[in-house]
């Protein structure tokens, strides 16, 4: 049994008061700070990068869960690896041929934890070459790019498929993270399918009482 971990996404935070929002996450019992890095190419939106991650690293002891939605991640990977990330997630769709192995190697060599993300239409089979040595798989339950979107029905089936693949290769420590539209109404479904880490953007930061919202997500996920 792995306890459910909640990773609020700071894409929904108040950037003018980011330190307050980080403190709020700490008080609420967040396990990780989810950082959405978008380049305006792999996804239509443009968000934040290395300078913000460096400052976040100094501002909190919470581990940084960095979700790279950028084309050609190998070109910029070293900067992120040196910025203080804990988990570094690259997208399967941005890595061609041997690049997938190279990305995992470089993340591990830098002392960070490697994770691979899949867009909603990307099949789980792309995980096969590396799933044995991944720390985490991120299943996108919306098209990446924006917070506040609706959970794609059926994403829980993909979570279950990843869990089966991990068992088949004996990676019993693999964590499965779900990102997009996760809140009190959807957490039960994905947790039952085997998800361990819940990204919550709007469900946390748009809640009237974010700490209460986080506790509710945890309760419904553990139920
Ligand atoms: C979307 C990002 C998500 C997003 C989640 O591309 O990867 O992390 O911030 O936001 P919600 O929880 O509102 O769907
Ligand atoms: Zn994300």
pLDDT at 2: 82
Residue ranges lining ligand 1, Cβ < 6 Å? 9, 11-12, 34, 36, 67, 142, 144-145, 147-149, 179-182, 199-203
Half-sphere exposure of 223 (CA within 13 A, CB side): 13
Let me know if 21 is a catalytic residue.
no
pLDDT per position in the chain (223 positions), as tens? Answer: 788 999 999 999 999 999 999 999 999 999 999 999 999 999 999 999 999 999 999 999 999 999 999 999 999 999 999 999 999 999 999 999 999 999 999 999 999 999 999 999 999 999 999 999 999 999 999 999 999 999 999 999 999 999 999 999 999 999 999 999 999 999 999 999 999 999 999 999 999 999 999 999 999 999 7
Report d(CA 206, CA 24) in Å as an integer: 13
| H or E segment to which residue 138 belongs | strand 136-140
ipTM more than 0.85?
yes
Phi, psi of 39 (to 5 degrees): -110, 0
pLDDT at 87: 98
In angstroms, what is the span from residue 78 Cα to ligand 2's centroid? Answer: 20
Which residues carry a binding-site annotation for substrate?
9, 67, 145-148, 179-181, 201-202
Q: Which residue's C-alpha comes closest to atom 9 of ligand 1?
A: 147
pLDDT at 80: 98
Q: In what order do the strands lie in the sheet with 5-8?
A: 5-8, 197-200, 175-179, 136-140, 113-118, 87-91, 64-69, 33-38
Let me know if 179 is a catalytic residue.
yes
**In CATH, what number does 5-222 get?**
3.20.20.70
- Joined together, the tokens standing for residue 165 give 């693949």
Catalytic residue among 21, 39, 65, 179: 179
Report d(CA 176, CA 160) in Å as an integer: 9
pLDDT at 1: 75
In angstroms, what is the span from residue 9 Cα to ligand 2's centroid? Answer: 7
Report d(CA 115, CA 136) in Å as an integer: 5
């Amino acid at each position: 049994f792995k306890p459910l971990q909640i990773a609020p996404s700071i894409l929904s935070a108040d950037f003018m008061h980011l330190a307050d929002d980080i403190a709020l996450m700490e008080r609420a019992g967040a396990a990780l700070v989810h950082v959405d890095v978008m380049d305006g190419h792999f996804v239509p939106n443009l968000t934040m990068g290395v300078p913000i991650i460096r400052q976040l690293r100094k501002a909190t002891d919470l581990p940084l869960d960095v979700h790279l939605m950028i084309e050609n991640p190998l070109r910029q990977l070293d900067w992120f690896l040196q910025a203080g990330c804990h988990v570094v997630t690259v997208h399967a769709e941005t890595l061609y041929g041997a690049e997938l192995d190279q990305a995992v190697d470089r993340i591990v060599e830098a002392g960070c934890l490697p994770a691979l993300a899949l867009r909603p239409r990307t099949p789980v089979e792309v995980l096969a070459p590396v799933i044995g040595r991944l720390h985490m798989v991120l299943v996108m339950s919306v098209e990446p790019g924006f917070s506040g979107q609706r959970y794609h029905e059926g994403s829980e089936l993909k979570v279950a498929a990843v869990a089966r693949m991990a068992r088949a290769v004996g990676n019993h420590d693999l964590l499965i993270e779900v990102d997009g539209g996760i809140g009190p109404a959807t957490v039960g479904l994905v947790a039952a399918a085997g998800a361990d880490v819940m990204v919550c953007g709007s469900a946390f930061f748009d809640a009237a009482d974010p700490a209460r919202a986080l506790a509710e997500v945890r309760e419904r996920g553990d139920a």
